[in-house]
Structure formats: C-alpha cells, structure tokens
Amino acid sequence: MNRSLQWDIFCKVIDNFGDIGVCWRLAADLATRGHRVRLWADDASALAWMAPAGCPGVRVLRWTEPLDLHDAGLAQQPSDVMVEAFGCEIAPEFIASCAYSVGAGGLKPLWINLEYLSAEPYVERCHAMPSPVQSGPAAGWIKWFYYPGFTEATGGLLREPDLAERQARFDRSAWLANQGIPWTGEKLVSLFCYEPPALARLLAQLAQHGLDGQPVRLLVAAGRAQNAVKAIFNNKIGLQPNKDGIEQLSISYLPLLTQRDYDHLLWACDLNFVRGEDSVVRALWAGQAFVWQIYPQDDDAHLAKLHAFLDRLEAPPSLRAFHARWNAQSVCHQALGGTEADLTDLHAWQTWARAIRSRLMRQDDLGTRLLRFVAKNR
C-alpha cells in the first residue's frame, strides 16, 4: 500500500500500562511506515513517561464524552481506517461525522475491532470475520474483527521493522551503566508484576540460593511491582536485600521507563518476569527466558488463556509448572516449594525462548498484516 492513510485509533484505558502501551506501539509503527494517526484516549497520561518524545505523524487527542471533534481536523483529513481497541466502542459523535462525510461523497472508512491477544483456538476461527452494523448512522457498514496471534492464520504480533537491527546493536554494559545500575557480572532478573502470592517465596529462594548458582541482581519495575517487593521486605525481618556483597540477592528499584528502555531492560536480563499483553510480546522478542503473569480474572478464565499460550509455544514442562504457581491467586493454591528446582532449569528456558523468537520472527508482524488486510478490504 503506497498511499498514506489517515488512521483513527480509539483506546479506553483499563490497565494504564497495557492498553495505552499497545495502542501507542501500533500508532507509532503505522506512522513510521508513512501513515497519519490520530490516537484517541480517555487517559493518555502514561505516554508522558512511556513515549515522552512522541512520534512524528501521531496526534494524541482526548477522548471525552461527548467527543469534541473541533480540533480533530476531520473535514481536512477524514478517516480512512478507524480502529476500536480491545472492544471499546468508537465514540458515536465520530461515527456520525464519518457517516456524514460518506453521505457527502467521501469514501467509507474501514472499521476494525482490534481484539486482545490470545493463543486460544477460537482466534484462528474468528480472525478477519466481518460483522454488519445493524443500526445507527453507520447501519449497513461492516466491522471487521482483527485478532493478534501467534500463527499465520491470525493477525500476528506487534514488531517494529527495525527491532532486530536495534537489538543486534544493544550494549548491555553501557545501558546498565547509563541507568546507574551497579552491575558486577551477577545474573540479572527483571520483575514487572501485579502482586502474585508466590512473590515472597521467590524472593526468599533468590536471597538464599541466587540463580543458576550465581548471585542475582533483581531489577524491579516502578509501580505495583516495587510496592509489592518493599512490602514483603518490610514484613519479613529475616529477608533483606544484599547490603554488603555477601548474600545472593541485590535489588535495584527502577524509575518509570520509556517503551524503548523497557525493551533494553528485557534484552539486558537473563530472566524476565512480565505481566499483561504488551510486555509478554516484548519478552518474546527479547529472546530471554521469561515468566508471564497474565491479567487475573475472578472466574479463573485467564488460566485457559495462559494454558493455550504455553501449549501454542510448546513451553518446557518445568516452565509450565512455574507459570502455574506464579499465576495462582492464593498461597494455598500455588505451594511454591519447588521454586529453586524450577529455576535451575534456566538454561532450558533460555533455549526455548530463543527458538520461539526465531520461529515468530519468520512470520510477518501485525503492522504488515494489518496494512495488507486494509489494502484488500478497503
């Protein structure tokens, strides 16, 4: 597709890191490929630290109720593609404006519902399915359901065209020094999580035994992960991070990182604990061993999604067992007595992660597939 298109992406923020993070990555990816993007978000505050430099070609607009279209420039730049992310419904004022433009002789925009990432079997069945709009000013239009995924029969995974090149140039020692992290060769583990009940036992194992027979420096992401770790150390007098270089566990608390620096963190570490949708994809591209804490749901519906992910990517048995414990929602259900033994399988996890990265890198990324889909259906 050679012509530059005007995209409108709508995002309702539920998880401040995940929803807006995915939408920003998509918007920036499209813009770097020569397209124009208006990103409508009800809460774009996280972009102040996530993407402080912005991106040429991307405008961030506030999604108010009712939607204020005054400064959007729809008359000069009508929408070519409109995307409702994660099941949010595009503002009715915007739909009405698009319908008016079409009635005045403009082209009908392509309407895409970008769904959550999943490896469950239904994704291949439902990907790229049309759904006629039954009512409202856009009655008779088609909404297309677009599912990211891990196979050729899905919408793919977000990946910038220059990712592999940037990763090949990455200098771990220089980046750690620039972040003020006092690395002396110990194993590096990143921690980005909610509040898993298994966390206290994991910290105890790392403090007592390190990782893979070596001392560990734990790099803890800002926010809920830091609060959870500090609460554990405050409550357990006998469990303290390294102060004098003798014990096995040292801890560095990180500031909020840009999306680019979060990638660097994952590339730098030997083991990454990640959470939610955006960071698990970034962990896959890092090619390092990782453990995913999926967004928890009260009815345990998330566990089926987790098992499908581990099945699809053929995770080693020890990694599957660790995921089950890490994602259990209570101590009585996770019984993390085997953490030490599981972590000794780190080499197998690393081998698997690199093989999975290689396999997925051979597939077209989400941006490429999405542009192909638009060219076919618009």
Domains of the chain with bracketed CATH? 6-157+363-377 (3.40.50), 163-361 (3.40.50.2000)
Q: What is the pLDDT of residue 293?
A: 96
**19 is a catalytic site residue:** yes
Contact of 93 with 8, CB cutoff 8 Å: no
Q: What is the pLDDT of residue 242?
A: 56
Q: What is the pLDDT of residue 238?
A: 45
Rounded Cα–Cα distance for residues 153 and 125 (Å): 9
Query: pLDDT truncated to tens, each residue of the chain (378 aa)?
Result: 468 999 999 999 987 688 999 999 999 999 999 999 999 999 999 999 999 999 999 999 999 999 999 889 898 899 999 999 998 999 999 999 999 999 888 889 999 999 999 999 999 999 999 999 999 999 999 999 999 999 999 999 999 999 999 999 999 999 999 999 999 999 999 999 999 999 999 999 999 889 988 999 999 999 999 999 999 988 654 455 555 555 789 999 999 999 999 999 999 999 999 998 999 999 999 999 999 999 887 778 889 999 999 999 999 999 999 999 999 986 555 544 444 446 889 999 999 999 999 999 999 999 999 999 999 998
Q: Which of 80, 186, 277, 345 is catalytic?
A: 277
Environment class of 243 (CB within 10 Å of its CB; exposed 0-12, middle 13-18, buried 19+)? exposed
Query: How many residues can be counted in the chain?
Result: 378
Q: Which of 19, 29, 186, 270 is catalytic?
A: 19
Contact of 334 with 197, CB cutoff 8 Å: yes
**93 is a catalytic site residue:** no
Contact of 4 with 36, CB cutoff 8 Å: yes
